[in-house]
């Protein structure tokens, strides 16, 4: 009987410890390990990684840093082969707004090409590693034709449309010459927008950028010679430079935005969709991208 209060106390203590650990786990899971609260002048680091499909979160973080009086400079760490045109353009515009008010320094990782380079263009300084894959100033539209495959399995499809070009790019039939010309005109328009954005952001002649804008990639070392980047260096070099440009004395304090992590179910679904899409090579609908195609650099 005397042991019962002791056992109860042990159970209660264990329950409190368990709840505390679970609370820490939940907080880390939803908020991430790095907070954005800081008391003094600081340099904020925002990471853009992977294919650019959506701009909302990146724009929100850039906007928050622009309003935060303690954030004197922002380092945009880019490790991306590009992505969908509109989100890349939206991020570009937000970086441009931020660079007009505060110091923005880009640090390129392994790849910062096509749309990944597009969003870097308006920054005040661009750092790249010597072996960074960058450039790829161009537009890509991938279309597929599965008419023969459907015929083999005895499946027929029918399309009802309100205009002769409404189903242009359909995978269910060959593309006509007129449709190809229309698609090419759209690509050329987006390409011109890309060239003008780079020329404006890098303060380069339009003709000079046009000569480089045939989709080719460059190493960071080559990009430096072509004035597509300003310096060779890593993330820490970019942070140090951002602090100096912002007038911060000594080693700048660095903050990161809170990370948002998806549920396991979402991660599994998105990962499976990406894998299947990559293997099959099909794109849903007509989708133009500022994206580099098929580059894997290993040593």
Q: Report, as residue numbers or ranges, the catalytic residues.
A: 114, 166
What's the burial of 206, exposed, middle or buried (CB within 10 Å: 0-12/13-18/19+)?
Answer: middle
Q: Name the region of 58 (left: φ>0; alpha: ψ -120 to 50; beta: rest).
A: alpha
Q: Please give the Cα distance from 276 to 287 (Å, whole number).
A: 17
CA distances from 114 to 124, 213, 249 (A): 19, 10, 35
The alpha carbons of the chain give a radius of gyration, in whole angstroms, of 25
Do residues 71 and 44 lie in contact, with contact meaning Cβ atoms separated by under 8 Å? yes
């Amino acid at each position: 009987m005397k042991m019962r209060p002791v056992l109860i106390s042990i159970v209660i203590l264990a329950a409190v410890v368990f709840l505390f650990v679970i609370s820490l786990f939940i907080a880390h899971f939803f908020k991430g390990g790095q907070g954005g609260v800081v008391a003094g002048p600081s340099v904020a680091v925002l990471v853009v990684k992977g294919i650019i499909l959506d701009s909302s979160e990146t724009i929100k973080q850039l906007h928050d840093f622009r309003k935060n009086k303690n954030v004197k400079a922002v380092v945009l760490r880019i490790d991306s082969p590009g992505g969908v045109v509109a989100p890349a353009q939206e991020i570009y515009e937000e970086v441009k707004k931020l660079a007009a008010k505060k110091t923005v320094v880009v640090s390129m990782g392994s790849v910062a090409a096509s749309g990944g380079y597009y969003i870097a263009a308006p920054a005040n300084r661009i750092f790249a590693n010597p072996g960074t894959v960058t450039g790829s100033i161009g537009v890509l539209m991938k279309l597929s034709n599965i008419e023969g495959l459907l015929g083999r399995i005895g499946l027929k499809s029918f399309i009802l449309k309100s205009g002769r070009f409404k189903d242009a790019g359909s995978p269910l039939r060959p593309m006509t010459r007129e449709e190809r010309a229309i698609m090419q005109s759209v690509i050329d328009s987006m390409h011109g927008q890309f060239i003008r954005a780079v020329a404006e952001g890098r303060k380069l002649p339009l003709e000079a950028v046009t000569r480089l804008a045939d989709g080719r990639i460059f190493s960071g070392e080559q990009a430096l010679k072509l004035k597509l980047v300003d310096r060779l260096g890593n993330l820490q070099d970019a942070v140090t430079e951002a602090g100096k440009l912002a007038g911060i004395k000594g080693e700048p304090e660095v903050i990161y935005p809170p990370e948002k992590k998806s549920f396991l179910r979402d991660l599994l679904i998105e990962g499976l969709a990406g894998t299947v899409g990559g293997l099959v090579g099909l794109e849903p609908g007509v989708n133009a991208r500022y994206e580099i195609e098929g580059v894997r650099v290993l040593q």
